[in-house]
Amino acid sequence: MRIAILGATSQIARDLIVSFSTADDKQLHLFARYPDEAAKWLMSVGLSGLYPVDEFSGFANHEFDAVINFVGVGNPERALKMGNSIFDITLRFDELVLNYLQTHPACRYLFLSSGAAYGSSFNEPAARNTPAVVAINDLAPQEWYGVAKLHAECRHRAHPELSIIDIRVFNYFSRTQDLSARFLITDILRAIRDKTVLETSSDYIVRDYLHPADFYKLVSALLSAPAANVAVDCFTLAPVDKPNLLAAMQENFGLRYEIIKASADINATGSKPYYYSINRRAADFGYYPGLTSLEGLMQEAIAIIQKQTTQAGSN
């Protein structure tokens, strides 16, 4: 299968490329704004020369069986800084693929959407019948990202004749995560690394952190299943709440933390107490996760801390 990867320099795209590197039946072609950066990364992970890398302008000149669109933003601070340009960027690259599908209708399209497409209020987890809620008369900047994803999903459903699957990612974490990003889990790992006390809000939250191995399982299942035009939500074997996450990090890594009343967390897409999904539609395509959120986090956290210990020992 010939697969185009758009936005190949994103973290989640890179993790998937590494996972695909062991699959002999998958031929990847990477596209990025800065191809040299993607090529250097391939070299750094021992995959130099394995896949061609080009600018986006060359995308339409090739034949693909599938396209996976990762173009977007995964850092909440960056999402806030991008402002309303998130609409233009999302639309531009989505239209690039939709135009391609007009002349290549058999090609499959996987679009990286977000749980934020449901809206900014998650007082309970998303379910199969959960509606998207948009405060159309009072749209706040932190809602722009989710609305951009929702807009794209609506465009995709308007083309039922095409094979388009929107993958709603809620939370994702791997050992390649930039620890300077402002997520709860990265705040935790920085505190462990720097031996500082984590200050975190008293807000009760539940998250479902997808592991790279399960994301690879999901993508592989969607590419192998019969063609469809639908959206699926990412999920693990079980989510994890904040108290249990903090306790596990304290027990396993000596995390020191202090609960404060004022929120110290960045909510780039709104405050979401139960930001995860119980929509299991992805199972209809043969996807079955292998890890819980906590199991996946522990695997990746151990790898991160071991790497930091090794680096500190060599200095």
pLDDT (0 to 100) of residue 272: 87
Q: Which residues pair with 275 in a beta bridge?
A: 207
Q: Which residues pair with 164 in a beta bridge?
A: 109
pLDDT at 269 over 60: no
Q: For residue 204, how many other CB atoms are within 10 A of its CB?
A: 10
Residue 269 lies in a domain: yes
Residue 218 lies in a domain: yes
Residue 12 lies in a domain: no
Q: For residue 227, how many other CB atoms are within 10 A of its CB?
A: 12
pLDDT (0 to 100) of residue 137: 94
Residue 277 lies in a domain: yes
Number of independent structural domains in the chain: 1
| Distances in whole angstroms, Cα of residue 232 to Cα of each of 103, 117, 267, 281 | 25, 12, 24, 6
Q: Could you tell me whether strands 209-210 and 171-172 are parallel, antiparallel, or unpaired per DSSP bridges?
A: parallel
Residue 55 lies in a domain: no
| Tens-place pLDDT, residues 95-152 | 999 999 999 999 999 999 999 999 988 999 999 999 999 989 998 888 888 999 999 9
Residue 50 lies in a domain: no
pLDDT (0 to 100) of residue 271: 66
This prediction's pTM: 0.93
| Tens-place pLDDT, residues 196-231 | 999 999 889 999 999 999 999 999 999 999 999 999
Residue 180's domain comprises 72-314
| Distances in whole angstroms, Cα of residue 194 to Cα of each of 62, 189, 190 | 47, 8, 6
pLDDT over 70, % of the chain: 93
pLDDT (0 to 100) of residue 265: 52
Residue 223 lies in a domain: yes
pLDDT at 13 over 80: yes
Q: What is the mean pLDDT of residues 148-168?
A: 97
22 token code pair: 């062991």
CATH of the domain at 112: 3.40.50.720
Number of H helices, E strands in the chain: 9, 14
**103, 252 contact by CB (below 8 A):** no
| Tens-place pLDDT, residues 174-204 | 999 999 888 899 999 999 999 999 999 988 9
pLDDT at 233 over 60: yes
**233, 126 contact by CB (below 8 A):** yes
Residue 32 lies in a domain: no
